[in-house]
Amino acid sequence: MLSSQNIEESIRWACEQEVAAPKPGNVNCFSDGHNMQVQDFIASAHAIAPVLAQQDIAIGELILQAIQATRTVVDCNTNLGIVLLFAPLCYAAHHCESFDQLPAELERALNALTVSDAENCYQAIRLAEAGGMGKEQNQDINDTPTITLKQAMLLAQNRDNIAKQYGNNFREIFHLGLPSLTAAIKCEESIEWATALAYLTILSTEPDTLICRKQSLEQARAVTTQARNLLRKTKNNNKLSNNKSDIIAWDKELKKNSINPGTTADLTAATLLLCAFQSMFSSQRILIP
């Protein structure tokens, strides 16, 4: 079973690796972007790690406390999506004896979410001041929820890929992100470039919902197509680093046009958290110093 210290270390490592990875369009090791800097994300990671690692705290309360902690170190939304994904995973990890148990414990935790969890989550989202949320007729984020957090996420799953994870037990992270990350690491890619490959793999599968909300579905689909084109170049060896110049050029183009696949970046961070947990459960700590 993982200790709170294990989980705290995993959170910090996952967040630091995610922002260090050369993810096109997102804040990364090559360039800042969208009025945010790498250091904003590092500070946020250190703020949320001890909060989300707490044991026996309800998921909604973990989310709210993590966003409150974030706002003490930055004045922008650096990690709402990350917190929404990390909180259930960290909660479930406390109840596992092995990594293989995590999907079942996660499903149990998601099914047990309450209206109180939804109330705390809604408050956290408002505090984070997330952009592009829009106005909904049913269970709008500015209203008081009357349904459980999972039910609220199911209402939003068609317009938000993070909400979608609450309904499919984090399928994209377990069955898409983690396998691609692991395959790249086995091909001796650095963790940063392996992370970028996982990011592009997720992005190539489904349009990024942050782009959909802030620009358009058409623009999001165009980004997905470009991600697929980049991935074709790595088909034989999973080595995205061989295409560094293409990655940097596309990163500059996306940021020039204020296009940010931010939802995909959050899913990638959760992929890294899974990878960290897997390493911790193996007692080998292969990736985390």
Q: What is the number of structural domains in the chain?
A: 1
Please report the pLDDT score of residue 9 as a whole number.
96
For residue 185, give its domain range.
Answer: 4-281
Please report the pLDDT score of residue 140 as a whole number.
78
Q: What is the DSSP string of the chain?
A: ---HHHHHHHHHHHHHHHHHS--TTSS-SS--BTTB-HHHHHHHHHHHHHHHT-SS--HHHHHHHHHHHHHTT-SS-SSHHHHHHHHHHHHHHTT-SSGGGHHHHHHHHHHT--HHHHHHHHHHHHHHT-SS----SSS-TTSPP-S-HHHHHHHHTTT-HHHHHHHHTSHHIIIIIHHHHHHHHHTT--HHHHHHHHHHHHHHHS--HHHHHHT-HHHHHHHHHHHHHHHHTTTTT--GGGGHHHHHHHHHHHHHTT---HHHHHHHHHHHHHHHHHHHHTT--SS--
Task: Return the structure tokens found at 233.
Answer: 């170049």
Does residue 128 form part of some domain? yes
Please report the pLDDT score of residue 221 as a whole number.
97
CATH number at residue 114: 1.10.4200.10
pLDDT tens sequence across 256-276? 999 999 999 999 999 999 999
Report mean pLDDT in 10-residue bins for the chain, 289 residues: 95 95 85 68 96 97 98 93 98 97 98 98 91 67 92 94 97 97 92 95 96 95 96 82 91 93 97 96 66
Please report the pLDDT score of residue 247 as a whole number.
92
Return d(Cα 102, Cα 94) in angstroms, integer: 9
Does residue 53 form part of some domain? yes
Please report the pLDDT score of residue 143 as a whole number.
87
Does residue 287 form part of some domain? no
Instruction: For tokens 């946020």, name the residue.
Output: 44
**Mean pLDDT taken over the chain:** 92
Return d(Cα 44, Cα 128) in angstroms, integer: 12
Please report the pLDDT score of residue 279 as a whole number.
92
Return d(Cα 192, Cα 15) in angstroms, integer: 12
Does residue 289 form part of some domain? no
Percent of the chain with pLDDT over 90: 80
Return d(Cα 264, Cα 200) in angstroms, integer: 8
Return d(Cα 72, Cα 51) in angstroms, integer: 13
CA distance between the termini of the chain: 19
Does residue 66 form part of some domain? yes
According to DSSP, the residues that pair with 146 across neighbouring strands are none
Does residue 79 form part of some domain? yes
Please report the pLDDT score of residue 27 as a whole number.
80
Does residue 277 form part of some domain? yes
Give the up-direction half-sphere exposure of residue 243: CA atoms within 13 A in the CB hemisphere.
23
Does residue 286 form part of some domain? no
